[in-house]
Structures are given as structure tokens and as C-alpha cells.
Amino acid sequence: MAADANVPPGVARARAALKDVPHQPGAKKPDAILVADKVVRRFGGLTAVNVGHIEIQRGAITALIGPNGAGKTTFFNLLTGFDKPNEGDWTFNGSPLGGVAPHKVARKGMVRTFQLTKALSRLSVIDNMRLGATGQKGESFWQGLVPALWKAQEQEITARADELLARFKLDAKREDFAGSLSGGQRKLLEMARALMVQPDMVMLDEPMAGVNPALTQSLLGHVKSLREDGMTVLFVEHDMDMVRDISDWVIVMGQGEVIAEGTPDTVMADPRVIDAYLGAHHDGTAHDPDEVAAEVEGGKSHE
Ligand SMILES: Nc1ncnc2c1ncn2[C@@H]1O[C@H](COP(=O)(O)OP(=O)(O)O)[C@@H](O)[C@H]1O
Ligand SMILES: [Mg+2]
């Protein structure tokens, strides 16, 4: 791509790196931070995830899209240790991550946020942030760990938490219960909390869902800034305008499999992708077909 003074360095770097990658499911990337092979997760008779091969390019923003029920959240759960596959393995930064518990995955530099936010509503914003430093495992783990960690690192952790709260404009809410925040502020808190472990890769499951339009731009800006800071982002999102706006690369899942990959423009024009959304409608799982076709084709964004 031509050098353009208006293109931020992180964007130019990511797009140049992906320029020659074939637009094919499972395509090899020049510098993959995450590589997964034959990852299968069944629920009874349903195969929710069946990913043959996937590579995520370091330093890029990759969108994972697909109709409801395609297996995106389940795939996130597997990769981050919140669920176990029936088969498959994957490496992150070259080391195997299959079977590794979520807090250890986080400490290896891969963190995720949830489709439904998991901020602990009865804790203050600042305490949610401090707990993020332990690698976002659930309650029982950090109750044991935190006291020891506190003694050694409390000040450093608090300083980092305050820095992130300022960056995410949540500093005024520092002492408030997380439960008192708006949906959008909770998404911001969750993203800020994920950054407490100074990750290499951030996985965001529907970061914009339920976010008031006033906060959407700010959230998008934060996601873009992660790329400028050299982080890798993998995110699930339904809004195709946002996918188009922020992603360097798009991977499409349908019925558990990767069915297409490429730049946002090629993927959204791909008949297989449109079919996948329509197919999901026929099983009664999602979406009005006309709306979906318009959305996938990007009709909304190109007036
Ligand atoms: N814990 C579970 N038990 C049984 N089925 C599940 C479970 N989690 C997800 N599924 C099923 O797996 C499929 C994929 O779901 P999910 O990963 O949530 O899709 P997506 O995030 O793409 O909408 C769906 O058919 C869903 O109903
Ligand atoms: Mg989901």
C-alpha cells in the first residue's frame, strides 16, 4: 500500500504485513502470534467449533465474524482456557497453550473480555482493576492469591490501574461500585482491566454490544490505540461498519468452521459469507435475511 501520512504507523505496518496473504480459510501469516490446529468442541451432538487451521497476525486487528451460533464465543473460550476442546492444540508466542488455565493464559500475555461483561458489580472500579492484575481468574483463585501479591506489588499495581483509568476516562468513577456504571462504561472498565497484565494480545467478545453511541467512538479509539501500542487484537463484532472501520483482517466462522478470510472489503463481498448469514437464518438462529445481506455487503456504511 502507498505510504500515506494520514495512516497511523500501526495500521500501515499491519496492512503491509497482510498484503500478500491469500484470502483463504486457514491462510498462513508472515508473523503469527497465535496458531491453532484442528480445534474441535462438541456439545452433545452439536459440533460448535471445528477449526482446521487458523493464524492470527501479530500487531494487527483481526475481526472474527459470523452469524449467531457460529462458534465464535466458544472458540474464544477454548483459546483462553475457559473451556476445553475435544481435540486440538494451539500455540501463543510459540508456546503451547492447550489445557492452560485462564489466569496462566493471561499471564502469558493473552487476555479476553466477555460478551456479557464480568466486572464485579459489588466491588469498586479501582478494586476491579487491581484484581485484573492477577490475570482475571474468577473469585476463588484471586481470593487466595491477592493478599500475597498485594504486599509486594500493591503500589505498582495501583499506579498502573490509575493510569489506565485515566486513559479510559474512568478516573472520576474510581471509588464507585462497578455495578453503578453504564453498559458502555463497564465495557471500558473490562478493557482497561484486561490491560492490567500488559498483554501481547487482547481478545474482545462483542466489545460494542449494548454500548451507547456516545461511547462507541471512544471504544473504537481505544481498540485502535492498542494496535498503535503494538498489541494484537482479535475481536468479535456484529456491526459491519465497525468491522470495516477498524480491522486489518477478517476471519469468518460459519457452523464452527472458518469459511472465509481476507480484508474487510473482500470478505464482505464473498458469497460464502452472505450464504452463511442466510443459512443461519434458515435454522432459525438469527437475523432477517434482507437486513443481513445489506449489512454484510456494507450497504449501511456506503451511502
Ligand atoms: N455450554 C454449552 N452447551 C451447549 N451448547 C452450547 C454451549 N455453548 C455454546 N453452545 C452452542 O454452540 C454453538 C456456538 O455458540 P457460540 O460459540 O456462543 O456462538 P457465537 O458466539 O458465534 O454466537 C451454538 O449452537 C450454541 O448454542
Ligand atoms: Mg458469542
Q: What percent of the chain has pLDDT over 70?
A: 82
Q: Is the pLDDT of residue 101 over 70?
A: yes
- Same domain (yes/no): 86, 235: yes
Q: Is the pLDDT of residue 52 over 90?
A: yes
Sheet of 232-236: strand order equals: 110-112, 201-205, 232-236, 61-65, 249-254, 257-262
Confidence of residue 259 (pLDDT cuts 50, 70, 90): very high
- Same domain (yes/no): 222, 97: yes
With a CB cutoff of 8 Å and minimum separation 6, the contacts of 5 are: none
Where is average pLDDT lowest: 104-108, 134-138, 218-222, 265-269?
134-138
- Same domain (yes/no): 46, 106: yes
User: What spacing in Å lies between the alpha carbon of 68 and ligand 2's midpoint?
Assistant: 7
- Same domain (yes/no): 112, 126: no
Taking phi first (over 0 means left), then psi (-120 to 50 degrees means alpha), and beta for anything else, what does residue 109 get? left
- Same domain (yes/no): 144, 218: no
Encode pLDDT of 179-204 as tens digits: 999 888 888 999 999 999 899 999 99
Ligand index nearest the alpha carbon of residue 68: 1
DSSP-derived pairing of the beta strands 32-43 and 46-57: antiparallel
Does 54 map to a domain? yes
pLDDT of residue 209: 83
Looking at the DSSP bridge assignments, the partners of residue 62 are: 234, 249
Ligand index nearest the alpha carbon of residue 205: 2
pLDDT of residue 300: 40
Confidence of residue 214 (pLDDT cuts 50, 70, 90): confident
Encode pLDDT of 122-180 as tens digits: 889 999 998 888 654 444 445 555 566 556 567 888 899 999 999 999 999 999 999 99
Does 193 map to a domain? no
pTM of the model: 0.86
Structural domains in the chain (count): 2
- Given a contact cutoff of 8 angstroms between Cβ atoms, the answer to whether 42 and 78 are in contact is no
Q: Is the CB of 25 under 6 A from ligand 1?
A: no
Does 303 map to a domain? no
Structural domain of residue 176, as residue ranges? 122-180
- Same domain (yes/no): 285, 205: yes
- Same domain (yes/no): 202, 269: yes
Q: Which of 267, 217, 248, 263 is nearest to 11 (CA)?
A: 248
For 76, phi and psi rounded to 5 degrees?
-60, -45
- Same domain (yes/no): 275, 144: no
Does 186 map to a domain? no
Q: Is the pLDDT of residue 273 over 50?
A: yes
User: What spacing in Å lies between the alpha carbon of 251 and ligand 2's midpoint?
Assistant: 15
Does 214 map to a domain? yes
Encode pLDDT of 216-237 as tens digits: 888 899 999 999 999 999 999 9
Between 280 and 80, whose confidence is greater?
80
| First-to-final CA distance of the chain | 25
CATH number for 7: 3.40.50.300
Chain-centre distance of CA 135, in angstroms? Answer: 16
User: What spacing in Å lies between the alpha carbon of 256 and ligand 1's midpoint?
Assistant: 9
Confidence of residue 47 (pLDDT cuts 50, 70, 90): very high
- Same domain (yes/no): 148, 6: no
Angle between helices 183-194 and 139-167 (to 10 degrees): 100
- Same domain (yes/no): 58, 114: yes
Q: Which residues surround ligand 2, an ion (CB under 5 A)?
A: 73, 115
- Same domain (yes/no): 34, 153: no
Best-predicted range by mean pLDDT among 58-72, 233-247, 260-274?
58-72
Between 209 and 8, whose confidence is greater?
8
Average pLDDT, the chain: 85
Does 284 map to a domain? yes
Q: Is the pLDDT of residue 303 over 90?
A: no
Ligand index nearest the alpha carbon of residue 206: 2
Q: Which atom of ligand 1 is nearest to the CA of 205?
A: 21
Q: Could you tell me the CA-to-CA distances from 23 to 83, 221, 294 in Å, in that order?
A: 29, 27, 22
